[in-house]
Chains A and B, each alone.
Chain A
Amino acid sequence: MNPRRKKRLGIILAIFFGISATVGLIVYALNQNMDLFYTPTEIVNGKPDGTKPEVGQRLRIGGMVVVGSVKRDQDSLRVSFDLADVGPKVTIYYDGILPDLFREGQGIVAQGVLKNATTIEAFEVLAKHDEEYMPAEIAEAMKKTHEPLQYSTEQKEGSAK
């Protein structure tokens, strides 16, 4: 190889390694930091495709705070509350200050780790600064779960029989 080609090969190899290192890092970092969104119903019953989150998995959950479920520890800032959309409830534990607009009956999104089948230890709780606001993710999820709650084709056939 003449020196000119050698140099070019060197540059191409360097670029190749640079790109692969970057892509590798991105994929690795994504694996570590991508959190799937679930509704309380999906945590208990699984997503439509049957996948359920595993215990210890990091995830995002969105739903309405069940009225009367907020309980505070007397000596610390530890708080627990139930979150539901239309189906089963999930309990969230959180240590810290809730957002200004956190209220019972209000839609919130929490980020945390699944402790057991129906419990989540949250490290972040978000509520939007708007009275009528419902996080888009929750609105959509509730729309989705609403449909099967009406009448499925099976039920309709059943009643016709």
Chain B
Amino acid sequence: MIAEIGHFAMILSLGLAVLLSVLPLYGASRNNTMLMNSARPLSWGMFLFLAVSFVILCYAFYTNDFTLQYVASNSNTQLPWYYRITAVWGAHEGSLLLWVLIQAGWTVAVATFSRGMPQESVARVLAVMGLITVGFLLFIIVTSNPFIRTLPFFPVDGRDLNPLLQDPGLIIHPPMLYMGYVGFSVAFSFAIASLMSGRLDTAWARWSRPWTIAAWLFLTLGIALGSWWAYYELGWGGWWFWDPVENASFMPWLAGTALMHSLAVTEKRGTFKAWTVLLALSAFSLSLLGTFLVRSGILVSVHAFASDPARGMFILGFLVFVIGGSLLLFAVKGAAVRVRGNFDLVSRENALLGNNIILIAALVVVLVGTLLPLVHKQIGLGSVSIGAPFFDMLFFWLMIPFSFLLGIGPLIRWKRDNLSKLVKPMIISGAISVGLAGLFVTVLADHFSGTAFVGWMMAIWIISMHGFELYERATHRHSFKKGITKLQRSHWAMMLGHIGLAVTVIGIAMVQNYSIERDVRLAPGESFQLNEYNFYFEGVRDKDGPNYDGYIADFEITKEGKYINTLHAEKRFYTTAKSMMTEAAIDRGVTRDLYIAMGERLDDNKSWAVRIYYKPFVRWIWAGSLIMSIGGALAISDRRYRFRKTAKNDKKLQEQEA
């Protein structure tokens, strides 16, 4: 009975979403205030009914209601309660419901924080978001309903959640990722709304900016969490596999990063308008493309959801509608956008253009690498796979001009600048980069690696140039001590964003070049020497969990005779899901991780296959992403995005636009 209420609430929400996508738009075209004002309450209604529906699905999982097919396939009475709740988004149907709920959440957020915007724009933006929600709700109700019953013959117990997903990392990874994916629908809706009204002014860019940064921030965190989860849970010790599904999340990130920077130019200088709109459209379209790739089952991937051709066709149709419709609108209205691009070759505009071009080139690389195997197969040339070295190599080469530009970009002025005053800091900073990079590579590693050297060089270049920029900016009017407190939050945001990238680059350079991975054969009592670390295999003991049989292998690690840590690597057999899982044991550290994962017991019944990894600086990759995200959060909290709420200021804003 309760599940039916959830189902019903979902359908009601669809009804409200349909109204939301029609009424305010009609009102905006007819200048009807009442219809336009309906957008906010309709958004709230849509969100609340979806929330009811979602809570009911959670309740069904919590109470082990196996009369629901979705619950029976993804949960089990043995599963701990917290994993029963997170199992809601452990598979296709529930994760889509979460997706739509988040979509409705963003809609409500826009409805709430858009008081300073003209009524007409709000109505249009919310209507476009409603339209997207309609698409996803129809998709759920028609092809992937989580509320389908198994009655009258329901199973006594469920089939259990995929053991890979029974992990704290997975509690937060999908919601974060979806927040990011769906968040780009806000920038998308702003772009569509302003194309409709034909008003692509700087106010539009100013409104879109905080939303874009918020979406980007969540996507960054979501991707970093996914990478971290894959590192410790899959037992391979890799942090990025260039798996099609990872690529599907990386593409909107690249487009979103380009969008953030291009929006800055549009807001500050009023140029790049058409390009920014196109980026806003593509960031969300790429999110949808990712969904299509993941859920239609056309890709072979570790993440692939159970697939169903009907679902693939539906999303493909939706994708064509969204991308085709928005590009059509862009073609019709975008041509009217005329900008007098008045800037010199050496200007911040051009530096940001360079940034955008490189980001888009990277996007194309990922797109080609992900879709080429599909195309290759469809045109009958047989199936192929494109290996990680393809991406690694291209990203290495793209990163070099990118980080060079990143270093000088913030120092170049808008409109026109002269490089001659930058020559000195560039030479000094270049010398520091080469010197320090050489020092770090020789001190931290046992052999010289060219790519690691270049990686360090790029990172130090970025950091030192930003240090110089910070000094210049702070001492511009005041003494350094006073000036540094006067800097705006948005300036610190840029600093953190760029330095975060440098930190990630250091992590990648070290891990990719100096990781040591050994698969060894060890029996209890034996030990293995990896560089200065000695791994002593103490033995194996039993340890069973609530829904699995497991055992633990203990390893004592010493470094030149000194005790470091005892690691407990686990092997679990999940009885209901009938699958074997490896839980890696990791000794974490700032400059290195020591990683042990158990393989299988070998034929002599005594020795084991053991994976022992040495991963230098791997945490820096995620630390960098975290720093970037903090930068994003600072940018959103900057004063200039807190829109004036009083009527007087409202009027002023409108006058400015006119």
Contacts and interface: CB of A to CB of B under 8 A. Distances in A.
Q: Please say whether chains A and B are actual partners in one complex.
A: yes
Interface of A: 7, 10-11, 15, 18, 22, 25-26, 29-30, 32-37, 47, 60, 72, 74-77, 95-98, 100-101, 111, 129-131, 135-137
A108 to B, nearest CB: 13
Interface residues of B, number: 39
A34 B303 CA distance: 22
Contacts of B384: 34-37, 60
Given A22-B361, A77-B521, A131-B578, A33 B599 contact: no
Nearest to A70: B603
Given A18-B357, A96-B519, A97-B609, A33 B387 contact: yes
A22 B520 CA distance: 41
12 contacts: A18-B361, A25-B394, A26-B365, A30-B368, A47-B382, A72-B602, A77-B520, A77-B599, A96-B519, A100-B582, A111-B387, A135-B300
B385 A111 contact: yes
B162 interface: yes
B520 A32 contact: no
A11 B162 CA distance: 53
B167 interface: no
Contacts of A32: 389-390, 393
A110 B174 CA distance: 30
Contacts of B368: 26, 30
A18 B357 CA distance: 10
A33 B386 contact: yes
B164 interface: yes
Interface in B357-402: 357, 361, 364-365, 368, 372, 382-387, 389-390, 393-394, 397-398
A87 B416 CA distance: 70
A35 B384 CA distance: 5
B372 A30 contact: yes
Residue among A18, A32, A111, A129 with the highest chain B CB neighbour number at 10 A: A129
Contacts of B397: 25
B313 interface: no
Contact of B519 (A11, A33, A97): A97
B345 interface: yes
Contact of B300 (A30, A34, A137): A137
B383 A100 contact: no
Nearest to B393: A29
B372 A33 contact: no
> Which 3 residue pairs are nearest across A and B when measured between Cβ atoms?
A97-B599, A33-B390, A100-B580
A35 B610 CA distance: 29
Contact of A95 (B163, B372, B398, B519): B519
B385 A60 contact: yes
B579 interface: yes
Interface string B297-320: 000100000000000000000000
